[in-house]
Amino acid sequence: MKILIAADTYYPHVNGAAYFAQRLAFYLNKRGHQVLVVAPSLNINSEFFEHNQIKFFGVSSYPIPGIKGFRFSLPIFQKNKIKKIMKAFNPDVVHLQSHFYINKAVFDISRKAGYPIMGTNHFMPENLVHYLHLPKRVENQVKKFAWKQFRAVFKKLSFVTAPTKTAANLAMKNGFPREIIPISNGIDLNHFTPGRNGEYLKEKYNLPNKPTLIFVGRLDKEKKVDFILKALPGVLKKVDINFIVAGKGKEKEKLEKLAKRLKVEKNVSFLGFVPDEDLRDLFSLADCFVNACEAELQCIAAMEAMASGLPIIGVNALALPELIQHGESGYLFEPGDKKTLTGQIINIFSDNNLRQRMAAKSLEMIKKHGIENTISSFEELYLKLKK
């Protein structure tokens, strides 16, 4: 099949939606489909690029002020060019990844041309509005408006998917008028596996020989890495561990200052962005993964950690409880409950048998999220659309 994927965030952006779109394109291509991605360009010019064996048309883009590494496109004056490219490609299916600028343009063109359209929702206003620093009342109005904009596009699609039941239910609670199909983001269980050798990374990133807690993700406000740091002084009174923070974002400098203020900086390793070739081996150096973000619609990094054989500690909010079986594959703590988080970290690092049992359960639970299952589920929808 010829599949056109529209994405307002794609390579080299670092976020879950961008990673999902890249991996979807890659594995569809691997299955023999012809894939074209329409996404923001790498610079101000509109032109074709190739990334990871996938051809994508980059729509002229601009850097987002204050958000390093992100670019956005306003394809108002480039619709004709996008239309011409889509006509030449002649897709069997168009798969939207959002309702924003590029996706809206592709949606409009597809509707007029009669291309079958479906979409996957990665959208949650909480992941965007915190950048605006608005009063709470205004913030709530912005969220309502954002959901309205989402509904205006996605209610007209043939199929709509979301990565979890929680994400699907959230959209429906916010007025989406029909069923949303949960399909996991998926994880390559051949790429992320337990027992890999990451010893070489200790020298590369100057890591100590200590039991290790790890967080992987954007260092932005909603990820609440500061909350984990604030639990560390209590943890270190009982167990001597190192906390790896792998990722980049606006909060990095603040988090480094916080670690110093809490006097835990010697037990925290801020690695910045870790490339894919290092990441799967980095998990092998860790003993437990932690995530305090209350706005996760799935969390690809947690899935990578599970596939690498790690117990998971996560906040009992939104979709993380779908990945974590409390007391079996890890622990859940209530939002803001630092005391419980502290105790859970201590428990896992104080009991090797407990940690091993939880690791085994993580590996068992992640099997259903294999990327092959995800791609097969999308192929089934594409075939229904094509008929």
Determine which helix (DSSP H) or strand (DSSP E) holds 96, and give its type and residue range.
Answer: strand 93-96
**Residue 344's pLDDT is what?**
98
Ramachandran angles phi, psi of 320, nearest 5°:
-60, -35
286 pLDDT band, cuts 50/70/90, is very high
14 pLDDT band, cuts 50/70/90, is confident
**Residue 227's pLDDT is what?**
98
Q: Is 313's pLDDT higher than 60?
A: yes
Query: What is the CATH architecture of 200-369?
Result: 3-Layer(aba) Sandwich (3.40)
**Residue 269's pLDDT is what?**
98
SS (H, E, C) 189-254: CCCCCCCCCCCHHHHHCCCCCCCEEEEECCCCHHHCHHHHHHHHHHHHCCCCCEEEEECCCCCHHH
pTM of the model: 0.90
- Residues 337 and 331: their CA atoms lie apart, in Å, by 13
Using CA atoms in the order 380, 382, 384, 386, what is the torsion angle rounded to 10 degrees? -150
Query: What are the structure tokens assigned to 228, written together?
Result: 């984990």
**Residue 127's pLDDT is what?**
64
Query: What is the CATH architecture of 2-186+370-386?
Result: 3-Layer(aba) Sandwich (3.40)
Least confident of 98-102, 143-147, 183-187, 320-324: 143-147
155 pLDDT band, cuts 50/70/90, is very high
Q: What is the mean pLDDT of residues 89-97?
A: 98
Q: According to CATH, where is 3.40.50.2000 located in the chain?
A: 2-186+370-386, 200-369
113 pLDDT band, cuts 50/70/90, is very high
Helix (H, G, I), strand (E, B) or coil at 313: strand
Cβ count near 16 (within 10 Å)? 20
Q: What is the mean pLDDT of residues 204-231?
A: 96
